[in-house]
Every structure is written in structure tokens, then in C-alpha cells.
A and B are shown apart, each in its own frame.
Chain A
Amino acid sequence: MVDMKVNLCGIKMDNPVMAASGTFGYGKEFAELYDINMLGSFSFKGTTLEPRFGNPLPRIAECEAGLINSIGLQNPGVDDVIAKELPELAKIFNKPVMANVGGSSVETYAEVSGKIDKCEQVGWIEVNVSCPNVHDGGMAFGTDPGVVQEVTEAVKANTTKPVIIKLSPNVTDIVSIAQAAERGGADGVSLINTMLGMGINLKTGKPVIANKMGGFSGPAIFPVAVRMVYQVYEGTGLPIVGIGGIQTAENVIEMMMAGATAIQVGAANLVDPYTCKNIIEQLPAVMDKYGIDSLSSIIGGAH
């Protein structure tokens, strides 16, 4: 019997497999298909202080081995999430959920986190300082070490829950950003968010996405994610949630060997809604194949 349990920032998880924010909504659509309690957890749709519609359409485009999105953090706002979505979620999910929060200023990040802090269902707060699709925050926060530290400190001051800073790959030196989060008191980091990309429609001669640029995700970015997780593992002492292009149990093991304590599946959920379930079911056999008894024992094993 293999052991898939991991401990992420003091919270025990049955397995390291989570669904990534923005690809799993608030769980409802997937709970119609299978019991989502089999997941380690999931990170719910990025939530901001005020409701947001997001960017103009089209805001999804396919590309080789992935997709480009510029949703722009559409969400009903934190008050609505707390009043409606979380009670609904409680009916279908009985594990600690990861709350993904966004902001347009240091203050709004702190305020949303303060509101989420009071939600018992929430295990971790994942702070999105890396959304490439919002002009008034997001990635602008995650590309400057000083600002990352400041946001982290402000969020930490407003919550007792573990704070995980979600990092952008669209930087020259991701380690310096992760270290800034660490200095700010972060309990962990998650990486990577989408890579800034663009597609051009040959018929119109214009960008496919209305917002011109968007976040590129999918299996193509997996090696970039593994590399950055590996670097951040070396450069900080923080637990890492590895994200980026994961589609298989083998990908999970690779990401953990690079240094991830837990992982998130993103784009793959949109194509095959059973991806997380399949990965969890296949993990024991793949662990056996590589002689792994305990997943927690392989974290950072590649170093």
C-alpha cells in the first residue's frame, strides 16, 4: 500500500493533487461528474473584493499543446463568494479548500484575505500576484520583488491561515521573487501561473484574443514549470505547489522530485474534466513502477 499523503503548510492532504484556480470554478461542475472529495484539495476561482466581469470576448484561443486565455478574473466578488458559493461548496466538498484571491492594490489584497480568513472551509489563502490578464493588479504585482514582499506582509497581517503566493513565470529571476515572498512571511509559494502569450488569426490578421495578449497554459509549459520549481526549491525554504502543464501521474512525480509538496492541475481540467480523478487513481501504480512507497519522501529528490 503506497502512501500518497503530504502535508502542505501544516495541513494534511490525502494526496498532493489539487485543481488549479480558474479551471475548476467553485467545484460544482466537477462534482456532477465525480466525488471531488477524492482530491487533495482545489483552489477556487480567483476572487476579488468587487465583482468582475473580466475581459471582452473572445478570451479563449487554442494553440499547439495548450490554450491562451484572457478571462480577466471574472468572479462575483468576495462577499458573494462567502455568502453563496462557499455554502454551496460545503454541500459537495468536506476538505479544506484553497482560496485564490486577487487585488488591485496592496490594500485590496489584504481586505479580501481578511474576509476569507473568517471562512472555516478555507485551509490556505493563495494570493494571485501573477494574473497576466488584469491591468490594475495581478502580474504587475508579481514581477517586482519589493511589491511581492509588501503584498505578502499585508495579507499575512490579515489572516492566520497559511498564505501561499502564486508566482508569475513572466520574470527574469523567479527565485528573487520567491525570496521576496519568503521575506514577507509567506508560508509557501505556488508556481507557475500562465506564461504571457499571443496568437494571430491569419484570416483577420489580428490577435485572436480581444485583449491581444493572454496567459498560455497547457502541457507545453510543463518543462518551464519543472525548471522554476527546481530553482525555487534551491533558493528558498518554502513549501512549493507545482503548477504548469500537469496531465499525468508521471508529471506529478516529476514535479514533486523537482521540489513540489503538492501540485495543481490546470488547463487539462478544461479538456478532460476527469483528469484529476484519473491522476489520483493512476498514482499508486506509477509509484509502484518507480519503487516509491511514500510521495512525501520524493519531494525535492532531484536535488
Chain B
Amino acid sequence: MKQMNLTILSNECIAEDIYRMVFETGEMLVEKPGQFINIKIDGFFLRRPISISDWTDNTLTIIYKVVGAGTEVMKEMTAGQVLDVLLPLGNGFDIMQSGERPLLVGGGVGVPPMFGVAKELIAAGVKPVVVMGFNEESQIFLAEDFEAIGAEVHIATADGSVGTKGFVTDVVKDLEYTSIFTCGPLPMLRALDSCAPAEIPGWFSFEERMGCGFGACMGCSCKTKYGNKRICKDGPILERGEIIW
């Protein structure tokens, strides 16, 4: 973990209430896909933890949803502004055991970290199957980006406006895959676990209210089969076999 002052290169709306912010980093700051950054915003006491979507040796991209007062301020930020950021945080996804046909499932604002996973897999010569779930067409983002890097993309919308009508599990039940990497709302993670064959390995990214984001305050602890874990430091990614649903 480092504390950095990062300059915003761009901050744009890419779907309903969804924004993409790109920072200039000057160096490679991310270790694994699925890690997150914790941003200090003037006027707010605690930082805002946001997952990393993409990165290069000179940039870092986050995609966030406007859900409260902090993200309301973030969406108004412009290129050139400098933000105090702690990063990289969290354990990240380990793609080593993906097998030849990994399944990447993102629900809503859980989609962004899946992009980093897809890029890593493709760089390793593995083509992932991506399933994205949204409520409706206006909320869809990143689908073209996944296709552009060569992933197989499936979309589920609750209202049926695009792709399969229903939830991600309505798509996943007809697919064959060797592993699961996922991030999204808790009910989605739970449903995925229920529908996936028991022998399939999986890595599930969890969201929780955090204090510090780096393991000091115990604000985001959860119980696992391997003992108590801090979502921010020992997670946010838990291995399927250790999760207590």
C-alpha cells in the first residue's frame, strides 16, 4: 500500500449514474485485478473505496456509481484535479487456477473489476466467458470493451431490454465453464454459488462498509470457514470453499 497524489486525466459518464475516472500514475501501481483504491474527498472524513477496473504502467481506471454524497462530488471532478489515494488495497483475484474456460460474472457496479480479470486472462492466453447483469439497457457499460479485448460476452437485463431477460444465473445455467470469478450484489453472489456445480472453483469479491480500507479498524470483518477475515485486507476476494453464506 502507498499513499499517492494522483492526477485525474478524465472523468466521464458512461451509463446512467456510472462514471469512468482515469488517473495518471507514472508507474505500475496495481498488483492484481480485483484490488481497489481508497480515495480522500474534501469535506468527507472517511475515504471512498472503489475497485480498479483497468490499469497500465502509466494509468489507472476506476468505474464508479453515484450512490451518495461522496460520489456526487466525484462525478463533478475534472481533468487536472489531484486526489489523495491509498493503493493498491485488497488481495485481488488470482487467475492461476482459471482453467481453460473461466466464467466472469459481474452484476451492475460489480462489472468493473471483471475487466481487469479478463485482460489478465487474455494476456495469459485464456479466453474468458463474461456474463454481465443489469436492470435495464440504460445502465449497461463496458460490454464493447470486453468484446474489443476478445472476451465472449453475454448480457442479462432484468427487464429484458437487452440480451437474456432475467438474472445472470439465467445465462450461466446454460454455460459450461471451468472456474468462476465474480463481483456483484450479495444476492447475486449467493445465487451463483447455488447454481454452479460444486466442483467448480470460484473467487467471489465482496463489498462491505469500510473504515480504513487497509486492515486496521476491523470495521469490515466477516466470518469464513478459515476464521475471521477483513474484507478490505484479507479480501475483498474470498475463495468459494471458505465462504459462509
Tell whether A25 pairs with B215 under 8 Å between CB atoms, given A53-B228, A54-B221. Answer: yes
* Chain B neighbourhood of A272, CB < 8 A: 3, 40
Please tell me if B173 contacts chain A, counting CB pairs below 8 Å.
no
Q: Contact between A69 and B216 (Cβ–Cβ < 8 Å)?
A: no
CB contact list, A37-71 vs B, under 8 A = 45, 53-54, 57-67, 69, 71
Query: Digit string of B201-237 for contact with A (CB within 8 Å is 1, else 0)?
Result: 0000000111110111111111100001000010000
Please tell me if A218 contacts chain B, counting CB pairs below 8 Å.
yes
* Chain A neighbourhood of B45, CB < 8 A: 62-67, 218, 267, 271
* Chain A neighbourhood of B217, CB < 8 A: 22-23, 60, 69, 71, 270
Dominant SS among interface residues on chain B: loop
Q: Which residue of B lies closest to A45 (CB)?
A: B218
* Chain B neighbourhood of A33, CB < 8 A: 1-3
Dominant SS among interface residues on chain A: loop
Q: In the complex, what distance in Å separates the CA atom of A59 from the CA atom of B208? A: 10
Q: Contact between A29 and B209 (Cβ–Cβ < 8 Å)?
A: no
How many of chain A's residues have a CB under 8 angstroms from any CB in B? 34
Q: In the complex, what distance in Å separates the CA atom of A274 from the CA atom of B214? A: 13
Q: Contact between A60 and B210 (Cβ–Cβ < 8 Å)?
A: yes
Q: Contact between A25 and B221 (Cβ–Cβ < 8 Å)?
A: no
| A143 CB to nearest chain B CB (Å) | 24
Selected from B2, B44, B219, B223, the residue in CB contact (under 8 A) with A59 is B219
Q: In the complex, what distance in Å separates the CA atom of A218 from the CA atom of B1? A: 23
Q: In the complex, what distance in Å separates the CA atom of A218 from the CA atom of B211? A: 12
Q: Contact between A29 and B221 (Cβ–Cβ < 8 Å)?
A: no
Tell whether A62 pairs with B44 under 8 Å between CB atoms, given A29-B214, A273-B3, A273-B212. Answer: yes
Q: Contact between A271 and B216 (Cβ–Cβ < 8 Å)?
A: no
* Chain B neighbourhood of A63, CB < 8 A: 45
Q: Which residue of A lies closest to B214 (CB)?
A: A29
Please tell me if B119 contacts chain A, counting CB pairs below 8 Å.
no
CB contact list, B42-76 vs A, under 8 A = 44-47
Query: Digit string of A256-300 for contact with B (CB within 8 Å is 1, else 0)?
Result: 000000000001011111100000000000000000000000000
Q: How many A-B residue pairs have CB under 8 A?
A: 86
* Chain B neighbourhood of A25, CB < 8 A: 215-216, 218
How many of chain B's residues have a CB under 8 angstroms from any CB in A? 26
Q: In the complex, what distance in Å separates the CA atom of A23 from the CA atom of B220? A: 13
User: Which of B1, B86, B216, B228 has its CB near the most chain A CB atoms (within 10 A)?
Assistant: B216
* Chain A neighbourhood of B1, CB < 8 A: 29, 32-33, 273
* Chain B neighbourhood of A61, CB < 8 A: 209
| B159 CB to nearest chain A CB (Å) | 22
Q: In the complex, what distance in Å separates the CA atom of A270 from the CA atom of B49? A: 13
* Chain B neighbourhood of A121, CB < 8 A: none
Q: Contact between A269 and B221 (Cβ–Cβ < 8 Å)?
A: no
| A27 CB to nearest chain B CB (Å) | 9
User: Which of B1, B2, B46, B215 has its CB near the most chain A CB atoms (within 10 A)?
Assistant: B46
Q: Which residue of A lies closest to B46 (CB)?
A: A62
Selected from A28, A60, A218, A274, the residue in CB contact (under 8 A) with B3 is A274
Q: Contact between A74 and B228 (Cβ–Cβ < 8 Å)?
A: yes
Q: In the complex, what distance in Å separates the CA atom of A29 from the CA atom of B89? A: 11
Q: Contact between B219 and A29 (Cβ–Cβ < 8 Å)?
A: no
Q: Contact between A67 and B214 (Cβ–Cβ < 8 Å)?
A: no
Q: Which residue of B lies closest to A219 (CB)?
A: B45
Selected from B212, B222, B233, the residue in CB contact (under 8 A) with A270 is B212
Q: Contact between A270 and B221 (Cβ–Cβ < 8 Å)?
A: no
* Chain B neighbourhood of A57, CB < 8 A: 208-209, 219-222
- Residues of chain B touching chain A, judged by Cβ–Cβ distance below 8 Å, are 1-3, 40, 44-47, 86, 208-212, 214-223, 228, 233
- Residues of chain A touching chain B, judged by Cβ–Cβ distance below 8 Å, are 22-25, 28-30, 32-33, 45, 53-54, 57-67, 69, 71, 74, 218, 267, 269-274
A25-B215, A74-B228 given; name 5 further pairs at CB < 8 Å: A23-B212, A45-B218, A57-B208, A270-B216, A271-B45
Sample (9) of A-B pairs whose CB atoms are under 8 Å apart: A22-B218, A33-B2, A58-B208, A60-B219, A61-B209, A62-B45, A271-B45, A272-B3, A273-B3
